[in-house]
Chains A and B, each alone.
Chain A
Amino acid sequence: AQTVTQSQPEMSVQEAETVTLSCTYDTSENNYYLFWYKQPPSRQMILVIRQEAYKQQNATENRFSVNFQKAAKSFSLKISDSQLGDTAMYFCAFNFGNEKLTFGTGTRLTIIP
Chain B
Amino acid sequence: DTAVSQTPKYLVTQMGNDKSIKCEQNLGHDTMYWYKQDSKKFLKIMFSYNNKELIINETVPNRFSPKSPDKAHLNLHINSLELGDSAVYFCASSRQQRGYEKLFFGSGTQLSVL
A interface residues with partner B (beta carbon < 8 Å): 32-33, 37, 39, 42-47, 50, 52, 89, 91, 95, 97, 99-101, 103, 105-106
Q: Is the CB of B99 within 8 A of A47?
A: no
Q: Offer 13 A-B interface pairs, CB within 8 angstroms, sorted by A.
A: A33-B100, A43-B107, A44-B106, A45-B92, A89-B41, A91-B43, A97-B99, A99-B55, A99-B56, A100-B58, A101-B103, A105-B40, A106-B42
Q: Which of A43, A89, A95, A105 has most B Cβ within 10 Å?
A: A43
List A contacts of B48 (CB < 8 A): 99-100
- Given the contacts A100-B56, A101-B45, A45 and B105 also touching, CB distance less than 8 Å: yes
Q: Is the CB of B42 within 8 A of A43?
A: no
Q: Is the CB of A47 within 8 A of B107?
A: no
Known: A45-B92, A99-B99, A100-B58. 9 other contacts (CB 8 A): A50-B100, A91-B43, A95-B100, A99-B55, A99-B97, A100-B48, A101-B45, A103-B44, A106-B42
List A contacts of B99 (CB < 8 A): 32-33, 95, 97, 99
Return the chain B residue nearest A52 by Cβ: B100
A-B pairs with beta carbons under 8 A, tally: 49
Return the chain B residue nearest A97 by Cβ: B99
- Given the contacts A45-B90, A46-B105, A99-B48, A105 and B100 also touching, CB distance less than 8 Å: no
Q: Chain A binding site: helix, strand, loop or mixed by DSSP?
A: strand
Interface size on B, residues (CB 8 A): 23
A45–B2 CA distance with the chains assembled, in angstroms: 14
- How far, in Å, is B76 (CB) from chain A's closest CB? 17
Q: Which of B45, B90, B97, B103 has most A Cβ within 10 Å?
A: B103
B108 at the interface (CB under 8 A from A): yes
